[in-house]
Every structure is written in C-alpha cells, then in structure tokens.
C-alpha cells in the first residue's frame, strides 16, 4: 500500500485503476474533502487508543492499566507476553488516560478445518409457514438440512434493521443500523404469546402468493400482530434483564425507532430538539414514550432468541454492509463521527464507467480514533453475535474508502485512508472472543498489500470462479471460494443468456458490452458443450470449484434451484432488486434434485465437515512491534 501521496487528512492525491492507469485528484476535490474531514485536535495522538498485541513495544513508558476485569497491572514500555486480551484503560504518570486494546493479531480459524456450505438470501427463502418473506424459522430449516447434508456453514445476507416505518428499505446493504436486526425476519408463530392473540387468520401465509416480496405489506401485518402480542402482556422482568445487558446502544436504537414512528425515518428532518441523542429534548421524548421504546427493545430480544435457535450447531456467516443509511439510527447516534456532505462509493471502472455511489456516509478516520473506535467495535461485535462467522463487505474499506461529494458524481471523488492495522487487530480480537471465522470480500480494485495484511490477520480472501484467471487448484487455502455473488449472474442466467437480456432491458450496458462480458464469464466454464442444459452447466461449474483447496467452498441456492434471475442488478433501479423469492418452498429444499446434486459435488471435494468448535484454533503469529 502506497501512502506516499497521502496528505495529513488521509486523502490520496492519485489512484490506480484495475489496469494500473494513474488518475490524479482535482485540487478542488481535495480542498472540499479537507473541509469535510476537519482538523484533528493537536493532542489526538496523545489520547487516541493504543492497539497492540502481547509482547509489543508501546509508545508510552511506565503506566498503570485497569483491565476489563477490574484488576490493575503495570506496564513499562512493553506489553508482557501474558497480558490479557481485551479493552483496557491505560493511565500514564502525568495523568493522561487512553484506551488500550490488546489483540491476538489473528482471527479465530480452526486449524486444518475445511467446510462447504450454502449462500442464502434469507428474505428469498420463504416456506409454507412464512408470511411472504423468508424468516428465522426458515433459516432454522436451512441450517438443519445443511447439517444433515454435511455442510459446515451457511452464509446469509445482512440481517440488519431498517426504519420501522411503513415504507421499508429493500436493500439489505443500506440498513439504518449495523448493530441490531430487522424484525421483519421474526417467525410470528415462534414469538411467545402469539398463540393468544388475533393473527388475522390466513393473511400472513397468503402473502406467499405474491410473485415478489412486498416488504411494506409484510411489515404492516407483522407489526400489527407483534404489537398485539406485546400489548397482551410479556415477561417484562426477563426483557428488562436482557435489555440491561445491551446497555445504551439498545436504548439509542429503540428511542430512534420510536421517534422515527412519530417523525419519519430521517433524523435530519426531525424537530430540532430531537436531533441531539444526548439532548434534553430526546430525554423528554423517551420519558413520554417509554412503552413505545420498550416495544422496539422487545423486538430485538425476540430476534436474538430466534437467531440463536436458528444457528445452533452450525456456523452461520453474517454479512457486514460497508455502511448505513445517512438518516438512520447509527448515523443519528454517531453524527459527530460520520462525515457530512459525502457518501461512500467506488471510482469509475471497467464494470461501471460512471463509478458508484452507495449512499452511506463514511466515518471520519480521526473522529473514529477519538471515539475509541467504538462505532466500529460495536458494529463488528453485533454482526458476529450468536452465529460464528462474519463476511466483511468491501473489506478494502478498512484500508481506504472512495468518498463521493454530494454535489458531484462518483468520478469527482477521492480515496481517504483509514488506520487499517488498528481496525484489523480489532476484528481479530472480536473474532477471537466470538470464535467467529472472518471472510473479507476483496473483489474489484485491490491495491497491493491488502491481501497480505488480510492473510497476516487470518482473514479469508474471497475467490470467485467468474473473476479468477488461475485454475481453482491454484487458489490459496486461506480463502472462501464461490462461483458468483448476489450482484453477478447466476450460472443458469449466464448460460441461457437471460441475464444478459435482462441487463439490456434495464439499460445497464450496450448489447456489445454485455455480450463481451457474458463471453468472458463463459470462458470460466471450459469443456461444457453448447447444448448442455442449465443444470449441467451448474454441476460443471461446481465441479471446478470443488477442486479449490480453499478453506470454505460456497454454493448459492439460486444456482442449485436453476434460478436464472440474480438477486440484484446494480444500477437497474426499475428492477425489483432484493425482492425475488426462490421458486421452491424452504421445506422442499432438502429433497430438491439440484440441491442434492450440488451438495454431493462439493462434499466430494472435502473431507466430511465437522463443527468448527471441535478443532483447535490457529495460534497467532509472532507479535509485530508497532
């Protein structure tokens, strides 16, 4: 990673595209981003967290450390090899205090373990007991048949919450929070007390009849029923006990939801007295709306219980989006840490000549440090919780992010760098504590040094058959191998040409561009005769994938079921992205011939998978001095 052209604000003056062509950033863009970032306080380096590993030399001499467990220790320039991992407080002789984060340096990864598994868009995986959308009851069905097949993991789309308002955000990658989950995924029948209230007869299952997933109608019905259950009486003592352990973050989320119910899902449009989450106006609102706030906290309790039941006995890898909605709960709670007037995106490239704007406000690097990395820590920890795995979407964002000014397009942006060594060590610490495998989605433009840093920290790389020029047998063992993703064609869609036709219909490229792209992807299926069926093409692709020595081998249910439509076509705004259900009910997946065939192909490429907890985790490498 070349930071030689990075200024004091962390802005890169130039960048290299995928063909190594250099591009210079306009001075006006740099000046604008400097103003957005602002000047860090002069004493930031003296009070920013110290992130280290046992055995590391420290940047301070003699200091007292109050450890997480309340014990006191003294350090003198070097952390002892037996120093406890965790989040501590360090105090120097001159009275300065700062956070000391001690990390193992490597993510938890069972030594010698390999596994195959299913990649699942949960909302699409609806069964006969669902109410129009795949839910945590369906996830329990998927994890059970996956275990029965010998799978070692299930990878799911982000389950994070959106605003509780009538118009529901469809994209799982633009949540209101990365710390709490979406109650639309609750299985109503599994909520204690649901059997004692009016659940409106067959209205819920009838939502399965729709060709698309209608989140607005689904949430309207689920919310009415859930409110009835809550109003009929719950175990308030148990709720308060669970709530107490969640602390201020849950209070902030539940309060934001209650205010959003009253004033809309964007905190920028709220009355002035409600903009400051620590202000007197919010305190007064909370006091006057205790019952509404408790309802939203109770929903999270039910989600926690159902998720843990659905993931029992198997690793479920949860997806962490790159950011959150600018008007959402996390942006409200951490508005002094997030940049205003810019959003995260990607520069122009071979796949999108205009670049991309993903709509999420970025964290300001120095403000993140001044906040003791707490926004990042909470997001990582909450997404890992209760499941055993984490996929970091656009993992390059831990190193640098493309900032897009609100008054210009993606082409007018620039890269801003982040303290990646600290952030990777924090991921490793949270992984160690949760015993969670971590995968980094490193697709697209990846600068030199990123994958080496990931490997050093035990973060698995992401290898796609559609993108890799090397044979799968040459892929690194420290990786997750897959054929495609939610943003790329399914094998049936590519093979039949229907995906190209849909892209052309949605105006995401010219016929020539799309045909060239399709031809380049088909080159990754050598030896498959032109007259092969889509099912034959699917098995041929997964036979190639099964030859990879990757730690994790992943197959999509979409491919196994012969689904030609991918979940999402980026840039196709008139298409029902994220709203396409799978063609087979969840209860029938295990017996489906395509699902069984793909499972056999991947299982044959591995030794029988066993739960990761039965293996010894790899030890961290030698501590690196900082």
Q: What is the pLDDT of residue 46?
A: 87
154 lies in the same domain as 289: yes
**Boundary of a domain, candidates 295, 310, 325:** 310
Q: What is the pLDDT of residue 93?
A: 86
Q: Compute the distance between CA of residue 601 and CA of residue 313 in angstroms, rounded to an integer.
A: 23
**Boundary of a domain, candidates 67, 102, 137:** 102
136 lies in the same domain as 73: no
218 lies in the same domain as 290: yes
pLDDT 10s digits, 125-155: 999 999 999 999 999 999 999 999 999 999 9
Domain that holds residue 80: 54-102
Tokens at residue 521, please?
A: 């992807």
Cα four-point dihedral sign 219, 221, 223, 226: negative
CA-nearest of 555, 524, 557, 528 to 542 is 555
Q: Compute the distance between CA of residue 156 and CA of residue 467 in angstroms, rounded to an integer.
A: 21
Q: Compute the distance between CA of residue 611 and CA of residue 357 in angstroms, rounded to an integer.
A: 39
- Is the pLDDT assigned to residue 55 strictly greater than 70? yes
Instruction: Compute the average pLDDT of residues 337-366.
Output: 88
Q: What is the pLDDT of residue 20?
A: 84
444 lies in the same domain as 426: yes
Could you write out the DSSP letters of every residue in 511-550?
Answer: HHHHHHHHHHHHTTSTT--TT--HHHHHHHHHHHHHT---
Q: What is the pLDDT of residue 5?
A: 85
Instruction: Compute the average pLDDT of residues 255-261.
Output: 98
Residue in the block written with tokens 């890992």: 384
The number of folded domains in the chain is 3
CB 416 within 8 A of CB 10: yes
340 lies in the same domain as 365: yes
Q: Is residue 18 part of a domain?
A: no
pLDDT band at 319 (very low <50, low <70, confident <90, very high): very high
Query: Greatest CA span in the chain, whole angstroms?
Result: 77
Q: What is the pLDDT of residue 622?
A: 38
Q: Compute the distance between CA of residue 193 and CA of residue 38 in angstroms, rounded to an integer.
A: 52
Q: Compute the distance between CA of residue 335 and CA of residue 329 in angstroms, rounded to an integer.
A: 10
Q: What is the pLDDT of residue 3?
A: 67
- Burial of 241 per CB tally in 10 Å (0-12, 13-18, 19+): exposed
Q: What is the pLDDT of residue 387?
A: 86
244 lies in the same domain as 388: no
Could you write out the DSSP letters of every residue in 346-367?
Answer: E--BTTBTT-EE--PPPBPHHH
Tokens at residue 10, please?
A: 């962390």
Instruction: Compute the average pLDDT of residues 513-533.
Output: 94
Q: Is residue 34 part of a domain?
A: no
331 lies in the same domain as 428: yes
- Is the pLDDT assigned to residue 399 strictly greater than 60? yes
pLDDT band at 407 (very low <50, low <70, confident <90, very high): confident
Mean pLDDT score of the chain, rounded to an integer?
Answer: 94
92 lies in the same domain as 132: no
152 lies in the same domain as 90: no
CB 604 within 8 A of CB 149: no
Least confident of 12-21, 222-231, 361-370, 612-621: 612-621
pLDDT band at 563 (very low <50, low <70, confident <90, very high): very high
Instruction: Compute the average pLDDT of residues 115-134.
Output: 97
For residue 81, count other CB atoms closer than 10 A to its CB: 10
Q: Is residue 33 part of a domain?
A: no
pLDDT band at 372 (very low <50, low <70, confident <90, very high): very high
Q: Is residue 17 part of a domain?
A: no
CB 391 within 8 A of CB 319: yes
Tell me the percentage of the chain whose pLDDT exceeds 70: 96
Instruction: Compute the average pLDDT of residues 94-103.
Output: 94
pLDDT band at 605 (very low <50, low <70, confident <90, very high): confident
Q: What is the pLDDT of residue 68?
A: 96
468 lies in the same domain as 382: yes
Residue in the block written with tokens 């991921």: 427
Q: Which residue has the higher pLDDT, 162 or 412?
A: 162
Chain centroid, CA 54 distance in Å: 29
- Is the pLDDT assigned to residue 613 strictly greater than 60? no
- Buried/exposed 331-361: b ≥16 CB within 10 Å, e otherwise: bbbbbebbbeebbbbbbbeebbeebbbbbbb
- Buried/exposed 160-198: b ≥16 CB within 10 Å, e otherwise: bbbbbbeebbbbbbbbbbbbbbbbbbbbbebbeebeebe
Q: Compute the distance between CA of residue 220 and CA of residue 453 in angstroms, rounded to an integer.
A: 45
Q: What is the pLDDT of residue 609?
A: 45
Q: Is residue 449 part of a domain?
A: yes
Q: Compute the distance between CA of residue 517 and CA of residue 572 in angstroms, rounded to an integer.
A: 17
Q: What is the pLDDT of residue 571?
A: 86
CB 130 within 8 A of CB 586: yes
- Is the pLDDT assigned to residue 335 strictly greater than 60? yes
Q: Compute the distance between CA of residue 494 and CA of residue 151 in angstroms, rounded to an integer.
A: 26
CA 113 to each of CA 120, 124, 301, 384, 553: distance values in angstroms, whole numbers, following the listed order: 22, 30, 33, 19, 12
Q: What is the pLDDT of residue 618?
A: 47
Q: Is residue 207 part of a domain?
A: yes
SS3 422: helix
Instruction: Please state the pTM of the whole predicted model.
Output: 0.94
φ, ψ at 261 (rounded to 5°): -60, -35
Q: What is the pLDDT of residue 624?
A: 36
- Is the pLDDT assigned to residue 419 strictly greater than 70? yes
SS3 64: strand
440 lies in the same domain as 414: yes
**Boundary of a domain, candidates 294, 310, 326:** 310
Half-sphere exposure of 174 (CA within 13 A, CB side): 18
CB 241 within 8 A of CB 171: no
- Is the pLDDT assigned to residue 551 strictly greater than 60? yes
Q: Is residue 43 part of a domain?
A: no
CA-nearest of 15, 136, 56 to 412 is 15
- Which residues contact residue 176 at a Cβ distance below 8 angstroms, ignoring those fewer than 6 apart? 160, 161, 162, 163, 169, 256, 265, 324, 325, 327, 328, 329, 330
CATH number at residue 151: 3.20.20.80
- Is the pLDDT assigned to residue 625 strictly greater than 60? no
- Is the pLDDT assigned to residue 485 strictly greater than 50? yes
Q: What is the pLDDT of residue 607?
A: 59
Least confident of 2-16, 23-37, 217-231, 384-398: 2-16
Q: What is the pLDDT of residue 408?
A: 86
Q: Is residue 620 part of a domain?
A: no
326 lies in the same domain as 366: yes
Q: What DSSP element (H or E) covers 15?
A: strand 14-16
């Amino acid at each position: 990673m070349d930071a030689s052209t990075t200024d004091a604000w962390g802005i890169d003056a130039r960048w290299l595209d995928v063909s190594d062509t250099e591009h210079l950033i306009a001075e006006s863009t740099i000046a604008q981003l400097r103003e957005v970032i602002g000047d860090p306080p002069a004493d930031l380096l003296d009070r920013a967290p110290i992130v280290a590993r046992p055995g590391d030399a420290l940047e301070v001499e003699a200091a007292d450390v109050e450890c997480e467990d309340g014990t006191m220790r003294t350090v003198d320039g070097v952390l002892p090899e037996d120093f406890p991992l965790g989040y501590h407080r360090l105090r120097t002789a001159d009275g300065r205090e700062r956070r000391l984060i001690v990390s193992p340096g490597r993510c938890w990864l069972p030594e010698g373990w390999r596994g195959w598994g299913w990649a699942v868009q949960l909302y699409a995986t609806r069964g006969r007991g669902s109410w129009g959308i795949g839910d945590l009851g369906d996830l329990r069905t998927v994890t059970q048949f996956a275990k029965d097949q010998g799978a070692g993991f299930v990878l799911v789309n982000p389950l994070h919450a959106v605003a509780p308002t009538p118009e529901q955000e469809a994209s799982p990658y633009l949540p209101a929070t990365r710390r709490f989950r979406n109650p639309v995924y609750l299985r109503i029948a599994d909520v204690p007390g649901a059997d004692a209230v009016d659940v409106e007869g067959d209205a819920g299952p009838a939502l399965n009849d729709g060709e698309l997933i209608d989140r607005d109608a689904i949430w309207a019905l689920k919310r009415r029923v859930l409110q009835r259950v809550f109003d009929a009486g719950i175990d308030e003592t148990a709720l308060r006990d669970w709530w107490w352990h969640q602390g201020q973050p849950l209070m902030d989320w539940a309060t934001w939801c209650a205010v959003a119910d009253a004033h809309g899902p964007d905190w920028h449009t709220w009355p002035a007295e409600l903009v400051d989450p620590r202000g007197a106006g919010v305190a007064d609102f909370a006091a006057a709306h205790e019952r509404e706030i408790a309802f939203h906290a109770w929903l999270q309790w039910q989600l926690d219980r159902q998720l843990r039941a659905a993931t029992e006995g198997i690793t479920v890898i949860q997806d962490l989006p790159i950011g959150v909605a600018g008007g959402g709960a996390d942006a409200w709670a951490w508005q002094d840490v997030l940049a205003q007037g810019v959003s995260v995106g990607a520069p122009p490239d071979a796949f999108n000549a205009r670049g991309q704007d993903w709509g999420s406000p970025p964290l300001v690097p120095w403000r993140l440090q001044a906040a003791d990395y707490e926004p990042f820590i909470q997001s990582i920890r909450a997404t890992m919780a209760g499941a055993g795995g984490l996929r970091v979407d656009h993992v390059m964002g831990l190193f640098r992010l493309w900032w897009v000014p609100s008054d210009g397009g993606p082409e007018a942006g620039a890269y801003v760098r982040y303290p990646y060594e600290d952030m990777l060590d924090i991921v490793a610490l949270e992984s160690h504590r949760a015993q969670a495998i971590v995968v980094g989605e490193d697709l697209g433009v990846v600068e030199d040094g990123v994958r080496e840093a990931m490997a050093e920290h035990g973060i698995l790389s992401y290898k796609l058959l559609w993108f890799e020029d090397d044979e799968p047998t040459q892929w690194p063992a420290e990786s997750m191998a897959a054929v495609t993703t939610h943003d790329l064609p399914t094998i049936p869609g590519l093979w039949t040409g229907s995906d190209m036709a849909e892209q052309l219909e949605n105006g995401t490229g010219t016929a020539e561009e799309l045909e060239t792209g399709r031809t380049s992807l088909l080159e990754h299926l050598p030896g498959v005769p032109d007259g092969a069926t889509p099912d034959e093409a699917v098995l041929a692709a997964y036979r190639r994938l099964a030859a990879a020595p990757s730690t994790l081998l992943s197959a999509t249910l979409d491919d196994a079921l012969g689904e030609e439509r991918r979940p999402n076509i980026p840039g196709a705004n008139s298409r029902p992205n994220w709203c396409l259900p799978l063609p087979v009910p969840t209860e029938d997946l295990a017996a489906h011939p395509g699902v069984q065939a793909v499972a056999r192909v991947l299982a044959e490429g591995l030794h029988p998978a066993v739960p990761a907890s039965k293996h010894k985790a790899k030890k961290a490498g030698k501590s690196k001095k900082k």
